[in-house]
Amino acid sequence: MTTGMDHLILALDVEEVDEGRELLSGLRGALKYVKIGHQLYARGGAPFLREIQAMGYSVFLDIKLHDIPNTIFMAVGALASEGLWALTLHCGGGRAMLEEARRARERSGARLNLLGVTVLTSFDEASWAEVAPGCPLAEALEKRAALCRETGMDGIVCAPLDLPVVRAAGAGLFTVVPGIRPAKADDDQVRVMTPRKAMENGADYIVVGRPIVNAPDRITAAKEIAGAIEEGLAWRTK
Ligand code: C5P
Residue 38 has pLDDT above 70, yes or no: yes
Q: State the distance from the centre of ligand 1 to the C-alpha of 178, rounded, in angstroms.
A: 5
- The boundaries of the domain holding residue 200 are 4-236
When the pLDDT of each residue in the chain is averaged and rounded to a whole number, the result is 96
41 pLDDT higher than 90: yes
Output the pLDDT for position 187: 76
Residue 140, pLDDT above cutoff 90: yes
Task: Please tell me the residue having the least CA distance from ligand 1 atom 15.
Answer: 178
Provide the pLDDT for residue 33: 98
Asked if 32 is an active-site residue, the reply is: no
Mean pLDDT of 20-48: 97
Q: State how many domains the chain has.
A: 1
Consecutive H or E run containing 61: strand 58-65
DSSP string, 173-218: SEEEE--B-SS--SSS--S-B-HHHHHHTT-SEEEE-HHHHT-SSH
Residue nearest atom 3 in ligand 1 by C-alpha distance:
209
How many CB atoms sit inside 10 A of residue 135's CB?
A: 12
How many whole angstroms separate alpha carbon 12 and alpha carbon 30? 15
Q: Is the pLDDT of residue 45 over 70?
A: yes
CA-CA distance, 200 to 202, in Å (whole number)?
Answer: 5
pLDDT at 184: 64
Cα–Cα distance measured from residue 40 to residue 47, given in angstroms and rounded to the nearest whole number: 11
Mean pLDDT of 53-70: 98
Residue tagged active-site, from 32, 35, 64, 197: 64
What pLDDT shows up at residue 185?
65
Q: How far apart are CA 99 and CA 197, in angstroms?
A: 33
C-alpha to C-alpha distances, 120 to 73, 138, 141, nearest whole angstrom? 23, 12, 9
Q: How confident is the model at residue 7 (pLDDT cuts 50, 70, 90)?
A: very high
Which atom of ligand 1 approaches the CA of 180 most closely? 3
For the CA of 189, the closest atom of ligand 1 is 4
Residue nearest to atom 14 of ligand 1 (CA): 178
pLDDT at residue 218 greater than cutoff 90: yes
CA–CA–CA angle 207, 212, 218 (5° rounding): 135
Atom of ligand 1 nearest to the CA of 117: 18
Mean pLDDT of 89-106: 98
Give the distance (Å) from ligand 1 centre to CA of residue 207.
7
- Give the whole-number percent of the chain exceeding pLDDT 70: 98
Residue of 13, 23, 137, 180 to mutate, ligand 1, most atoms within 8 A of C-beta: 13
Separation CA 211–CA 40 (nearest Å) = 19
What does pTM read for this prediction?
A: 0.96
pLDDT of 131 strictly over 90 = yes
Residue of 137 and 238 predicted with greater confidence: 137
Task: Identify the residues whose C-beta falls under 6 Å from ligand 1.
Answer: 11, 13, 37, 121, 157, 159, 178-179, 189, 207-210
Report whether pLDDT(156) > 70.
Answer: yes
Residue 121's pLDDT is: 87
192 pLDDT band, cuts 50/70/90, is confident
CATH number of residue 32's parent domain: 3.20.20.70
